[in-house]
Amino acid sequence: MTEESVTKFEYKTYSGRKTAMLILGIAVCLINFVLNIIIGSSSASIPEILTAIVNPAGVSKLTATIAWTIRIPTSLMSILVGASLGLAGATMQTILNNPLASPYTLGISAGAGVGASIAMLTGLGGLAVIGGIAVPLSAFAFALLACLGIYFISRTKGFTSEIMVLTGIGMVFFFQAIQSFLQYIASSEALQAIVFWTFGSLTKADWTNIPILTVVFVVVFIAIYSQSWKLTALKLGDERAKVLGIDVERLRMMMFILMSLLTATAVAFVGSIGFIGIVGPHIARIVIGEDQRFYLPMSAVCGAAILSLASVATKIIVPGAVFPIGILTAIIGVPFFFALILRKRG
């Protein structure tokens, strides 16, 4: 066997092993998706729910409504939001070369929280024209406002990772201060709604916002994945990437815009759900490595699997009640975060 044949065999083995791990991750997502649909607090049995999925006319109207109006949209939303946050976290950790970075590091979620709070505080949700989309629309607008602030400040310094991190930290404190002020002046009803939104919840999932998030995720994923080899080179350092002919500043700027759009869309519909953007990419890195061709989709898959599993867990932990999923992801994510810090001795 020639050296070239050996190299090809090793490459096929390398790719095959990583592809198998990716397929396994997708299978876990599908299992969690099905569990999320069949588990719930209603009196409908598992066979009835499964029948409602394939033949809604074969069950009662109530069971069909539970399956198609509540459980399936919630299950799909958990997959889409988890995948979005996982992909955004992986992209951020790559362009910033910081294993502890996440979509929330740059203050995007904090900006969305301020936008949602303003909509609730001013009563925009009660308007006849845009009442149903007022809160997510306002959250999305302020998330993009935070992105624009980071963009223009970082642009003056060449989009270096250090400047972006520092600017993001500043945005976090700025929007948290505004959020605290809004909570201070809010009425008891508005305060309750604001606090619940900041906890994060999948209860707002419906067949209106799912297509929006699906389109944004697919477009952004394709755009980011098309630059996977450049992102892999970026992991070698800015100077080496430039030697390979990569415009590092332009690449970092483009990835930041795409990641911001993806994060802003996700948090606009579900609120603040933390740690998915940290935990998902790190699990992907452990099982599949830093090759961005596999790392990016695996991060999305891990994020989807974690959030869908958390959605199932909330139904089991507090049956019959709406338990904010952001609380559970934080409880899981904080120990993982500390373990990661302790593991990174160097």
Per-residue pLDDT tens for 5-35? 656 767 788 888 899 999 999 999 999 999 9
- The mean of the pLDDT values for the chain is 86
Nearest to 32 by CA among 307, 308, 317: 308
Q: What is the pLDDT of residue 344?
A: 58
* Confidence grade of residue 324 (pLDDT, cut at 50, 70, 90): confident
Nearest to 329 by CA among 308, 298, 301, 299: 308
* Confidence grade of residue 327 (pLDDT, cut at 50, 70, 90): confident
pLDDT at 105 over 50: yes
pLDDT at 341 over 60: yes
- Cα separation, 334 vs 233, whole angstroms: 31
- Cα separation, 157 vs 2, whole angstroms: 50
Q: What is the pLDDT of residue 346?
A: 45
Q: What is the pLDDT of residue 42?
A: 75
pLDDT at 280 over 80: yes
pLDDT digits (tens, 9 = 90+) for 24-69: 999 999 999 999 999 887 777 888 888 888 888 888 888 888 899 9
Q: Could you tell me if residue 320 is left (phi over 0), alpha (psi between -120 and 50 degrees) or otherwise beta? A: left
pLDDT digits (tens, 9 = 90+) for 164-198: 888 888 999 999 999 999 999 988 888 888 888 88
- What is the average per-residue pLDDT within 70-87? 94
pLDDT at 128 over 50: no
